[in-house]
Chains A and B, each alone.
Chain A
Amino acid sequence: MTNSGVPNRWRRFDVWDERPLRLDKFAIEDPSNGFCAMQSPNDPNPSLSIRNGLVAEMDGVPEAAFDMVDRFIANHHLDLSVADEAMAVDSLAFARDMVDIHVPRDKLVRLARGMTPAKLAEIISTLSTMELAFAQAKLRARRQPGNQAHVTNAKDCPLQLAADSAIAVLLGFNEIETTLRVARNCWAAALACAVGAAVGKGDALFQCSIEEAEELRIGMAGFTSYAETVSVYGTEQAFVDGDDTPWSKTFLTAAYASRGMKMRSTSGAASELLMGFHDARSMLYLEARCLCMQRGMGVQGTQNGGIDGAPLANSVPGGGRELLGENVLAALLDLECASGNDASTTESEIRVGAKIMPILMSGSDLITSGFGAIHRYDNSFGASLFNAEELEDFLAVQRDYLLEGGLRSIEPGEAWATRERAVAAIAAVLEELGLATVEPRMSASVVAASGSNETETLSLGQVGAISDAIKARALTGADVVRALAKRGFMDEAHNMHAMLLRRVPGDYLQTASIIREGRVVSAINDPNRYSGPGTGYIMSAERRAEIARFRDAVDRAAVLEQEGSIQRDEQRRYTLIERGDAVPGNDPMEIVIGLSPAWNVSLFKTTAEHPLSAVLRALIDGIKEGGGRARVVRIRHTADTSFVGLSAARLAGSGYGIGIQSKGTAVLHQRDRLPHMNLELFSMAPMVALEHYRALGWNAARHASGQQPEPIRIPYAGESLGGRFYVRTALLYAIETAAADSTAAAIDLEARFT
C-alpha cells in the first residue's frame, strides 16, 4: 500500500485507491452530452398517428421531418394492424404484464410489433433490474439457453485455432467466433476453426468476423455457418458514419440468408456516443430505435447489451440495468438475443460477477456473445468480460446457483486428447491439401500451450501464404471433408459434412437456432413458454450432474485417503501407548494435554498440514521450556475443543490443561472456569504454526507457575478460511465426533517419539 501523503486524508482512501476498481472510470450523468442510460429529458414522448393507413407522426416527429431511421421503422417495423391498440396500452400496465406469469409471451410480442421506440423505451424504464431479469426469463425466444465463444490468437496460428475451437466445443459452447490480427489470414483461420469445431460433438456454429464481402465468400465456401457483424446505429449520422444505411443492411441480411448463413445484427448502448452522434438521447431510447430497425430488416436476432459501448454504458448510473433492459427489449421484439457480456467492461472482478448475474438468472439465447475461450492476450477482439483465465469462476457460479450458462468443466485428460486430435486433424488437412507441412514440434507445442506466448509454430507470413492459397485455389468445405476422410479423421469428416448438409434446407436460419446433439434447435421447435415455477427450461438430471461435477471436488473418501497416505509416516514418527484410565494428578506443575478421540486413530494431520506428531511434540516441548511437566491423555467422551480442554484441565495437577482436536483447533483451559470461558483459543487452525503450539505449551506452564503470560496472536491476513478449509474441516470433524463415545473415560497415553 502506498501512502498518498495528502494531509488530513483518511488512509482508508489509499487502500481504496489500490483496488483494481479504481482503474475504471465513472462518468457523471449528463444527458445533454449523451451520458444517460435511460429516460433522458431529451427523449421524445411516445406517440403515433396513422392517417389513411400511413404513419403521419411518430414519437413527436411529423412524417415530413422523418430521418432515415424514423422512415425505416415506420415502413418496416411498425405493424399498423396492431399499432393503435399497442400505443393505447398504458406503459406501466404493459410492464406489469411483462412480469406476470399469467400473461403469455405471445400476447406481449404481438403488441410490441405496433409500438414505437419511445413507447418501448418508456415501458422498459419502468422495470427494476430484478423485474427485467424476470421479464427476460419469460420473453427470451428459445427455451434452453446457450453460449458463444471467441476463439482467436495473437499469432493467427491455425493449429492453435483448431485446438482451441475443439476445446470450445468440449466446454459446451454453441457458437464460435473468430477474427484475425492480420486480415489476410482469414481463410486459414476459417478452415482451421471449421476443422477444430468438427472435433468431438462437432456441433458448434462458426463465424469468421471480417470485411463483409470476404465473410460472405468464406461462408459460401462452406467454412462458416453464421455472421453477426451487421451493425446498426440509432441515429442517422452514426449510421452513415458507420458507412451503411438501414436499407444497405437489410440487403446484406438477405444476402447472408441467400447463402444459407445464419445472421444476427449488432447494436447496443453507447455505440452512438462512441461515434460522436448521439442526438442527446438516452442509450435505451437509441437502442430501441436500433432494435425496431432490426425487426424491420427481418434479421432473426441481435447481439446487443452494450457490445463495444458496454464499458461506456457501465460508467453511468443505471448502466448495468440499461444493458439488461436492452436484452429484454430484443426479446420483446421477438429477436434472438446474444446478450453481450463480451467486451470487458471493468477491472473489478466483483463488477464482472455482478454484471453476468441477472442474465445468468434469466437465461439467454446466448448468455455471452463472446466468452473468451482463450487467454485475454490472445483475444483479437480485445479481452472479454469472461476469459479462459476466469472460466472456472464462471463454472462455479453456474454450479452455486444451478444456473444454465451452457458450459461444463473439463478434465485434464479429455482436454489433452481433444487438443491432440484437433491439431492432428488440421495438420493432416493442411498437408493433404498441399497447404503446409506441420512439423511435429509445432504440433507438440500447440497441444500443450495454454496460449500463443508458449507456442513454436507457423510464422504470420506462413499463415498468410496458406490463407492466400486457400482463397486462390477456391478450396471449400467439401475439399476439407475429403481431406479429413482420406487421412482417417472420419468423425470429423462426418461432423463437417453434417454441417454442410444442414445448409440446404436452411433450418438454422430460423430465430435463435443452434445445433444440439446433432439437431437444429430454435425458437420454432424449442420455444420458451415460461409461465412460472415448474415451466420453461428445467435442467435435466444429467445436465445437473454435469454442472455439479467440479475439478478437484472432494468427498469423505478423498479426505480419508489423504489421511491414510500420511498414516504410515506418522507411525514411524511416534507411538501413543495406552496406560489405563486417567485420574487427576497432584503435581502443581503438571499440564495435561487432552487429545481428541480420533487423534492418531483415523486422523493424522491438522488443516494446516502439520503432522499430529509434530504438533504434540511442540506442545510438550513448550510446556517443558516453560518449566512444566506434560502429561498426555486421550479424552474419549467428546470431540468438542472446550470440553476436551476443560476435561484435561480437571485432570491436571496444576489445574491447567490444553485441549486439541486432530484438525488443529486448540484451547488452553483452567479447571475452575466455565466451559467456554477459556484462557486462550486457536480457532483458526489452518493459520496456526508449530511455533504457536509450542508457545501455547509454554504459556500453560507459565500459568501453572502463577504468572500471567501474554496470549498468543495468530497472524491473519483476511484469508477466506471458510472457502479454503471448511469442506475438509467439516469432514474431519465428523470423523472426530463419530470417534467419541460418551461413556468412555479419559485414558493416559505415553508418547514415544522415534
Chain B
Amino acid sequence: MNDGLPLSEIYPVGEKQPDRVETQGGRRLADLTLNALVAGEIRQEEFAITPAALRLQADIARQAGRETLARNFERAAELTAVPTDIVMDVYEALRPGRCKSKAELLEKAAMMRERFGASLTAQLIEEAADVYEARGIFRFRF
C-alpha cells in the first residue's frame, strides 16, 4: 500500500503525503481547514482516523520492523467501524469472569466477524476463549 517507498518519503503522512489519506466522508486532508471548521462545515467525526490510514500506518510499522505494532493497527482498522458501545461491550466480555462460558465469548467473536468483518479481532477473541477455558477465567467474580 505504501508502494515500497522508503519511510523517509511517506512519514509523517499528514505532513509529507497528505493526499494519501481521506476522511471517512471522503474529503481530502487539505479541505479540513480551520476556516471550514469555524464556518461549521466540518463535524468532529470528520477528524476520525480511517481504516485506510491505520493500514498505511501498519505498513510503516512493519517496514520499520515492528510486526506486532502493525498487527495492532490492523485490528484497529477493523474496529473503526464498530460503534463505541459495542467496542466497550466486547472489551467488557473479555475481562475476567464477565462471560460465564466459552460459548458466550465465542458469540462475541462471531458478531465481530459477521457484522463488522473484523476477522483479526474475532481470532483474538477466539484465542482468548480457549485460554480462558483452560485457565478457569470464566469462573465467578461478581
Contacts and interface: CB of A to CB of B under 8 A. Distances in A.
A482 interface: yes
B65 to A, nearest CB: 7
A686 interface: no
B110 interface: no
B115 interface: no
Contact of A248 (B14, B47, B61, B94): B94
Given A247-B128, A334-B66, A504-B47, A257 B54 contact: yes
B124 A255 contact: no
A298 interface: yes
A253 interface: yes
B1 interface: no
A476 B7 CA distance: 33
Contact of B70 (A110, A298, A506): A298
A175 interface: no
A181 interface: no
A452 B116 CA distance: 48
A109 B65 CA distance: 9
A505 B68 contact: no
Interface of A, secondary structure class, is: helix
A507 B72 contact: no
B35 to A, nearest CB: 9
Most-contacted residue by chain A among B8, B67, B96 (CB, 10 A): B96
A509 B29 contact: no
Most-contacted residue by chain B among A258, A477, A507 (CB, 10 A): A258
A34 B81 CA distance: 45
A75 interface: yes
Interface residues of A, number: 71
Contacts of B14: 501-502, 504-505, 507, 520
Contact of A236 (B32, B37, B135): B135
Nearest to A521: B12
B75 A505 contact: no
Given A299-B72, A520-B14, A247 B40 contact: no
B131 A68 contact: yes
Contacts of A297: 68, 72
A482 B8 CA distance: 35
A258 to B, nearest CB: 4
A259 B48 contact: yes
Nearest to B28: A504
A446 B18 CA distance: 41
A522 to B, nearest CB: 8
Nearest to A222: B44
A592 interface: no
A503 interface: yes
B51 to A, nearest CB: 9
A678 to B, nearest CB: 70
Given A248-B94, A504-B32, A505-B14, A110 B21 contact: no
Most-contacted residue by chain B among A68, A220, A476, A485 (CB, 10 A): A68
A408 interface: no
Contacts of B29: 501, 504-505
A67 B79 CA distance: 28
8 contacts: A72-B131, A247-B132, A251-B90, A254-B76, A258-B80, A497-B34, A507-B11, A524-B11
Interface of A: 67-68, 71-72, 75-77, 79, 106, 109-110, 212-213, 216-217, 220-222, 236, 240, 243-245, 247-248, 250-260, 295-300, 334, 476-479, 481-482, 485-486, 493-494, 497, 500-507, 509-511, 519-520, 522-525
